[in-house]
Each structure stands twice: as structure tokens, then as C-alpha cells.
Structure 1
Amino acid sequence: MKVELEADKCVASGQCVLAAMDIFDQDDDGIAILLEETPAAEQLDDVREAIAVCPAAAIRLVEG
């Protein structure tokens, strides 16, 4: 599985970082940064939580 982040949609809420701090971070403006494009299997639940709580729907999990 691969994580895709559309940073231009990001509204800097930081919810993704709270849900999956090993996968996401924020830049100085609060915009999400993808740290790990291909998370380990044990991190997928955290990524799914980040997707669910993202108010801008800027995160996707895709096959690949």
C-alpha cells in the first residue's frame, strides 16, 4: 500500500500527524509532509485513521 498526500488541499489542521506521527509531519506553515510513502503493515491502521480525520480529504491509500 502506498500513501498519497495532496499538499495543495491541506488546511494545516495537524490531525494526520496526531493520528500517524511516523508517517506525517508538518512544515513551518502547518502543511502536511509525507515522511513515509510506503508504511509498514502495522502502521496502516494509523494511516487509515489519518485519512478518516483529515478535514480536507487530502490523503489517500492506494495499491502499489
Structure 2
Amino acid sequence: MHVGFVATSTAKVDAAFAAALDAGATVIHPPGAQHHYDPRYYAAQVRDLDGYSLEFVHKPWQHGA
């Protein structure tokens, strides 16, 4: 299962990613621009302890600057 969480800034993506790692998640994609979608698509993805893929994403054209 893949669950996406909207973040209102890139800093919040980074913070959510760090918190997930602190809670025991493993890295799928570190925070950064996801150019295969759009250069402004900023996201990070982890796998939680139950095996779920969690994505933290900020898209300024949808979620504000």
C-alpha cells in the first residue's frame, strides 16, 4: 500500500522524512525534486515498520508556495 501526505513546504517534507526515519522507517527515496514527475514536485518516500510506502510531498502549484 502507498499512502501520500501533503506538506505545505519542502521543510515539512524534510521534517516528516526525518521523523519517519527516527521511528524506524527505511529510505525508499530521500527528499528532493522528483524530476520524472515535475522539477517542482518535491517529495520523500519511506517504508514504515508495517511495510507501507509513505510519501511526503509538496507541489507548490497545488499546495501553495
TM-score under structure 2 normalisation?
Answer: 0.30
Q: Which structure has more strand as a fraction of its residues?
A: 2
TM-score under structure 1 normalisation?
Answer: 0.30
Q: Which structure has more helix as a fraction of its residues?
A: 1
